[in-house]
Structure 1
């Protein structure tokens, strides 16, 4: 068993964790109202070494608060946290040697210094052996295409360039765990593709454990085999992307082009959702294979062409949130 993992093999162990904030707001000239806000409400999940897990949820769901507790920035109000066998709140300095963190809207780089100077400072701060530092820097510069940016002050970098620079900075000390909070926010298509490819390579080659929180669901679809959904501080779903589609009742769509206009095609469990002349759109459960439907349609109808459109994960999440709101309303009224 990995000595840094728990008895169940968990490299990251979140057990019934809560975080409550005391919020004060002004209600009059000399009066203030105090209320308690439960940002995280009894969340539990485990991540094995080398996993790449996506964490999604609306604004205020508790995602970033959870990440901050896992890094030791915030202390849980209740529950238990362990990362590589370390309690983040009690041993933050020791944990810093094992983790890398990238917050999409904040930089860890020195604003007025050339990019390479930030890396040199981190070399000293983390006491990285010289050979290891050079090897890691060369690898990050190559894979993230930073060679022409090293002498440029950070304040002159574009958002995409700075983001790639931040990711490299987080990896110079060879962390076992990489936390990414909105790593592709505001990036153009090319920059997003470059960052995603780097993260895939990092996970495959180094076995780095990655916990990714994002609003860009393409990050999840392209990088993570497992997804955790959080809403109002509670865990709504933890499993595979395929299972998420099933839980959200998502559907695939078969687009059929016929030789001529025909009545709606009847091939259960698919149902016709749209007809335009000789083209028909048939929706069917996302967990079902399209092959039997295609075979039955080909037997009955004169086909010209067909294609399958995959379900939109954003629509799946929206339905789950809507159901969660409905459930909470029902509980409040009962």
Structure 2
């Protein structure tokens, strides 16, 4: 693992162990070690958009914190753009952008534009480059009417778009996104996804995306890595993940009237309540042909597709075959 011109992110047998103290009695405490990341190795090439997923407590956030230099690995080798994050955190900060869905990097009581002006100075961004990047983000993320609004008055979706713009003002080579669409409405999610696709295509920005929304992964990433108990358990395409995990989408069909269970291979009816029926079908299959067949044969009022939950996909991976 030594091709740092092509591989922007490199982890080689990285570990992170925390020591936890637990009270066992009066004036007595027990110390034990918790291995959050366990001999983790992978490489991300320049320009890739990679989904990095797993259940809560799997080690995702710990990995990202090591990649940004917030945490120091307990063992192994880690490099981002050829830099050891924990040793040269300030130098690395100029080359990375970070967006945490549940936490903001913006100044809470200041108008949005003032946060951007402060970042302009903090990162020492050349004036021309700052104006160009700001104008581009404002236009594509629809922030024009929000620049003079204090951050605390923004909705979650507005703040998220504001945070993404803030992370990109200094033209980072790599962008870490932690739940960038959490709590957003459908329109805001679509806008954020389109912006990230354009950013990657036009500027070649490398993106590492952690999310619980599999639609984010499927629409943005050609590669997905699954981590569980600190270990990498899958590295491949999103379609391959569904095949390995044997995951299923759910098609919710509202009919004009009560009818016997719908027959439409490869879907199967799993629940019926009056005129509403729930059908499960393999997540690796396209929903379009299935919907077309049902619409041609049954009196439809409405239908919707529900994506599988990441935890459900991973639990099926373990319940079924071993991961290859």
Q: TM-score range by the shorter chain?
A: 0.7 to 0.9
Q: Give 1:320 shift.
A: 3.0
Give the one of 320, 323, 326 matched to 2:314: 320
Counterpart position of 1:219: 216
Q: Structure 1 runs of 4+ off > 3 angstroms? A: 250-255, 264-267, 270-276, 280-291, 303-307, 309-313, 322-328
Answer whether contact 1:286 1:311 (CA < 8 A) is retained: no
Give the one of 154, 163, 170 matched to 2:160: 163
Give the greater-gyration-radius structure (CA).
1
Answer whether contact 2:247 2:316 (CA < 8 A) is retained: no
Give the one of 112, 115, 123 matched to 2:112: 115
Counterpart position of 1:332: none
Change (3 A) 1:323 1:220: closer
- Structure 1 gaps of 5+ residues are 298-302, 329-334
Q: Deviations over 1:236-271 (max 9, x none)?
A: 11100111112112468999x9xxx99x9899xx68
Output aligned runs, 1:90-129, within 5 Å. Answer: 90-129=87-126
Q: For 1:289 and 1:325, locate their aligned partners in 2 and report how far apart those are by CA, in whole Å.
A: 24
Q: For 1:171 and 1:191, locate their aligned partners in 2 and report how far apart those are by CA, in whole Å.
A: 18
- Structure 2 gaps of 5+ residues are none
Counterpart position of 2:29: 32
SS in 2 for 1:227: strand
Q: For 2:190 and 2:248, locate their aligned partners in 1 and report how far apart those are by CA, in whole Å.
A: 27
Give the one of 171, 174, 177 matched to 1:180: 177
Q: Deviations over 1:97-139 (max 9, x none)?
A: 1100011111111111111111111111111000000000000
Answer whether contact 1:252 1:311 (CA < 8 A) is retained: yes
Q: Structure 1-normalised TM-score?
A: 0.80
SS in 1 for 2:102: coil
Q: How many positions carry a matched residue from both structures?
A: 312
Give the one of 71, 79, 82 matched to 2:76: 79
Q: For 1:18 and 1:184, locate their aligned partners in 2 and report how far apart those are by CA, in whole Å.
A: 29
Q: For 1:224 and 1:94, locate their aligned partners in 2 and report how far apart those are by CA, in whole Å.
A: 28
Q: Deviations over 1:35-59 (max 9, x none)?
A: 1111111111111111111111111
Give the one of 246, 250, 254 matched to 1:249: 246
SS in 1 for 2:124: coil
Give the one of 4, 9, 19 matched to 1:12: 9
Q: Structure 2-normalised TM-score?
A: 0.82
Q: Deviations over 1:256-299 (max 9, x none)?
A: x9xxx99x9899xx6866799xxx999876668999x9xxx9xx
Q: For 2:143 and 2:313, locate their aligned partners in 1 and report how far apart those are by CA, in whole Å.
A: 41
Corresponding position: 1:62 with 2:56: no
SS in 2 for 1:151: coil
Q: Give 1:216 shift.
A: 1.8
Change (3 A) 1:211 1:272: closer
Q: For 1:45 and 1:134, locate their aligned partners in 2 and report how far apart those are by CA, in whole Å.
A: 36
Change (3 A) 1:282 1:179: closer
Give the one of 40, 49, 54 matched to 1:52: 49
Corresponding position: 1:197 with 2:194: yes
Q: Give 1:220 shift.
A: 1.2
